[in-house]
Chains A and B, each alone.
Chain A
């Protein structure tokens, strides 16, 4: 092989070496990225598995004076009642009776002779708030339920 031909092949090899370097860099980079995201996926899956026994509900507390606070995506244990969910998001005072619990105050706003805390559940079929038909302790929440506590003047 002549010197000139050898010279050409040296440069062709050098050019291919450049391509190999770029390919190696890109391969190594994406391999590491894959590993990183796989690890993140596994960590996230593990975290999410901890919540498999939980449901997410939305609870509104309406103080009746124009002030209302939403507690959206509140995680509660599957099978929890509205009473338990309310205790998780607010300071609740209640009394126990043979028929169930009666909530007397939420976040220090107490019922009296003219006002009481009533609860409602959102009916997505009629798009209305339906008043609770049972005690809050007896109402078992489902995933995605929206409930509200309204400080209501009843007398």
Chain B
């Protein structure tokens, strides 16, 4: 009797690879608070491989990074970060369904208005997603240490602005390029691989 796997081996490999990339970049950038490529990578994972793999990349990354972190460990904050990060994967997967990156199979010239229009959409989306993430995680973090939600949000403003503005630029310049790159890498034996999550 055959069994049906939830994910293909390729999808699992992709999830592992993206999680590893997230961890490497997070630890490499640990000295820069709230400026990370992780959110972009999780979004792209969701966009390229679907909602569930995207969520998996986000959650797995936080399970490692949130547990082995020089700034300390807090279970409620870890859960909040996992949930918040999953949002990038979910929205990434949903964005693919509405074709936010256009055909997304090939690079177009940077002089092309369509390229920048798509990039701008990703930048705005990245900013708004990060706003929701920061709002949620700041409130949970504040409550954890006994602050009121409003004070928690205001205390977190410098970090939130750094996070949101940096993500705007990461998504603006990196999202479509990364999506196209990942899709191009999914070739095997000279034949184009049709991604199926």
Question: B121, A22: Cβ atoms under 8 Å?
Answer: no
Q: Which of A23-31, A70-78, A129-137 contacts its partner?
A: A23-31
The contact sample of 6 A-B pairs, CB cut-off 8 A, is A14-B125, A15-B120, A18-B124, A21-B128, A22-B161, A28-B157
CA distance A22 to B157 in the complex (A): 9
A22 to B: closest C-beta gap in Å: 6
Interface string of B127-168 (1 = CB under 8 A from A): 110010000000000000000000001100110110011001
Q: A1-55: which residues lie under 8 A (CB-CB) from chain B?
A: 11, 14-15, 17-18, 21-22, 25-26, 28-29, 32
User: Chain A interface residue count: which class?
Assistant: 10 to 19
List residues of chain B with CB within 8 A of the CB of A28: 153-154, 157
The 6 tightest CB contacts between A and B, nearest first, are A29-B157, A18-B127, A14-B124, A25-B157, A32-B154, A15-B124
Minimum CB–CB distance for B166 against chain A, Å? 13
A15 partner residues in chain B, CB cutoff 8 A: 120, 124
Chain A residues, Cβ within 8 Å of B124: 11, 14-15, 18
Against B, the Cβ 8 Å flags (1 = close, 0 = not) of A87-104 are: 000000000000000000
DSSP class of A's interface residues: helix, strand, loop or mixed? helix
Residues of B within 8 A of A25 (CB): 157, 160-161
B157 CB to closest chain A CB (Å) equals: 4
Report which of B120, B131, B154 forms a contact with A21, defined as CB distance below 8 A.
Answer: B131
Asked if residues B164 and A22 are in contact (CB atoms below 8 Å), the reply is yes
Q: Chain B contact residues (Cβ within 8 angstroms of A): what range?
A: 10 to 19
Q: Considering the complex, which residues of chain B in the window 82-131 have a beta carbon less than 8 Å from any beta carbon of chain A?
A: 120-121, 124-125, 127-128, 131
Q: Is the CB of B154 within 8 A of A18?
A: no
Nearest CB in chain B: distance from A100 CB, A: 61
Residues of A within 8 A of B168 (CB): 18
Residues of the B chain whose Cβ atoms lie less than 8 Å from the Cβ of A18: 124, 127-128, 131, 164, 168
How far is A134 from B131 in the complex, measured between Cα atoms in Å? 74
Query: Given the complex of chains A and B, what is the CA–CA distance between A14 and B125 in angstroms?
Result: 8
1/0 contact string of B5-35 vs chain A (CB within 8 Å): 0000000000000000000000000000000
Tell me whether B158 and A29 are in contact (CB under 8 A).
yes
Pair A26/B120 contact, Cβ less than 8 Å = no
For A12, the closest partner residue in chain B by CB is B124
A21: chain B residues within 8 A (beta carbon): 127-128, 131, 164
With the chains together, A26 CA to B164 CA distance in Å? 13
In the bound complex, CA of A88 to CA of B131 (Å) = 59
Whether B128 lies near A14 (C-beta < 8 A) is yes
Residues of A within 8 A of B160 (CB): 25
Which residues in B have their C-beta under 8 angstroms from that of A14? 124-125, 128
Chain B residues within 8 Å of A17, by CB? 128
When C-beta atoms are compared, the residue in chain A nearest to B131 turns out to be A21
Interchain CB contact under 8 A, B165 and A22 = yes
Option from B120, B128, B154, B164 in Cβ contact (under 8 Å) with A29: B154
Chain B residue at smallest Cβ distance from A21: B131
Residues of chain A within 8 A of B153, CB atoms compared: 28
